[in-house]
Amino acid sequence: MPRHLRISFPGAIYHVTVRGNARQAIFRGDEDRKRLLGRLEESVASYGVRVYLYCLMSNHLHLVLETPGGNLSRFMQSLLTGYTVYYNLRHKNCGHLFQGRYGAKLVAGDEYLLRLSRYVHLNPVQVGAIREQKLKLRIGALRKYRWSSYLGYIGGMKRQGFVKYGPILSQMGRRDQARKYRRYVESGLAETDDEFEAVLRGKAIGDENFCARVRDAWQDLASKAKRTEDVEFRRKVARLSSRTVLETVARRSGVALAEIQVRRRNSVIRPLAALMLSRYAGLTNRAAAELLGLRSGVAVCLLIRRARLLEEKPYLKMKELVEEDLLRQAQEIRGR
C-alpha cells in the first residue's frame, strides 16, 4: 500500500500527531521526555521550523508547527529517528517505536490555530480518570503539567526559546495576553466546542474554503503519484542478491569488499551496507548479521537506525549514488 501523500509548501502550518506502536508508551520517564524536547530543539534549529506548541502524553505527542522551508518530512525524520535511536539504546529495545507514519493535517491559521491550541493544551486533562474529576481539580492539574508548552504561554514557567508564542498570543489583544489566554484555554473545560471537534475529524483544519483547497491539492498530488508508486513497487519486488548489494556499496564507498566486515570506529560503510541489504536484498536482520560479521540481528537493527539518522553531506551523496545503482539494477531485473 502506498504511503499517504503529504501536501508540502513553504509556510504550511501543520497539526502533527505521533503515536506509539500498538499504543505502547513512548516515554518511560522524565529523562525520555527531556531528551525528546532536546531533540526537538535541535531539529528546529537545523531545519528552520517554527514550533507554536507541543504536548507530550504517555503514548503519543502533539506538535503544531510551521515549515517556512516546506521541509516537514526531513524535519520529522530527524526528530523521530534521533529519539528512536536514543530510546532503543537506553531501554535495550529493538524495532518500531512509533505507529506507522505520523499524522499531519494542514491548519488555516489565525482563529483555527487559536482553537487548535486550546484543544492540544487541554489534552493532559481530557484523558483517563482526570477527565471525570471536578473542574477545579482539572484546572489545578493542567497548571501543573510540565510536558506541554501551556505553562510557557500563561507565565507558569520560563518560556522556551524554540517555541514561537507570538502568533497565538497576539490574538489575545495587546494587554494581559497570558492571563487572557489562560482564561480562553481553561474555559474549554467547562464547555465543549462541538463545531471544532467536527473540524478536527476532517483532512484539514480550517473553514470550508480552506478544506476544499486542501482536497483539490491532494487530488492533484494523487494524480501525479503513479510513477512514484511504480518505482516503490519495483523496489519491493525486484530483489537483488546480497553479493550485488555489498559489491555496489564497496564500489561507491571506495573500499574492498572484505573491508565491509571490518569494524571501524565511526565508519558509515557498515551502517549503509546494513540498510541496503534490508532494502534491496530483503534480508532479515539475522541474515544480514552473518554477512557483516556481527553477532546478532539487534546489532544490525542499530546499524540501520544509524544509517537513517546520519546527515553528513558526503555520506548522503554516497548513499544517493548507491541507491541509484541498486535501483537501476533492480529495474533491469524486473524488465527482463
pLDDT (tens digit per residue) in 83-137: 999 999 999 887 789 988 899 999 998 899 999 999 999 999 998 899 999 999 9
pLDDT band at 51 (very low <50, low <70, confident <90, very high): very high
Domain range spanning residue 313? 229-335
Asked whether residue 42 falls in the same domain as residue 81, the answer is: yes
Query: How many domains does one find in the chain?
Result: 2
What's the CATH code of the domain at 283?
A: 1.10.1750.10
Asked whether residue 132 falls in the same domain as residue 109, the answer is: yes
pLDDT of residue 223: 65
pLDDT of residue 239: 82
pLDDT of residue 225: 57
Q: What is the pLDDT of residues 207-236, one digit of tens each?
A: 988 888 888 887 777 766 544 444 444 444
Share the mean pLDDT of the chain.
87
Q: Of 200, 223, 246, which residue constitutes the final position of a domain?
A: 223
Residue 144 located in a structural domain: yes
pLDDT band at 194 (very low <50, low <70, confident <90, very high): confident
Asked whether residue 72 falls in the same domain as residue 148, the answer is: yes
- Three-state secondary structure readout of the chain: CCCCCCCCCCCEEEEEEEEEHHHCCCCCCHHHHHHHHHHHHHHHHHHCCEEEEEEECCCEEEEEEEECCCCHHHHHHHHHHHHHHHHHHHHCCCCCCECCCCEEEEECCCHHHHHHHHHHHCHHHCCHHHHHCCHHHHHHHHHHCCCECHHHHHCCCCCCCCECCHHHHHHHCCCCHHHHHHHHHHHHHCCCCHHHHHHHCCCEECCHHHHHHHHHHHHHHHHCCHHHHHHHHHHHHCCCCHHHHHHHHHHHHCCCHHHHHCCCCCCCHHHHHHHHHHHHCCCCHHHHHHHHCCCCHHHHHHHHHHHHHCCCHHHHHHHHHHHHHHHHHHHHHHHC
Q: What is the pLDDT of residues 165-182, one digit of tens each?
A: 999 999 999 999 999 999
Q: Is residue 25 predicted with pLDDT exceeding 80?
A: yes
pLDDT of residue 227: 43
Q: Of 192, 207, 223, which residue constitutes the final position of a domain?
A: 223
pLDDT of residue 336: 53
pLDDT of residue 334: 60
Q: Is residue 237 predicted with pLDDT exceeding 50?
A: no
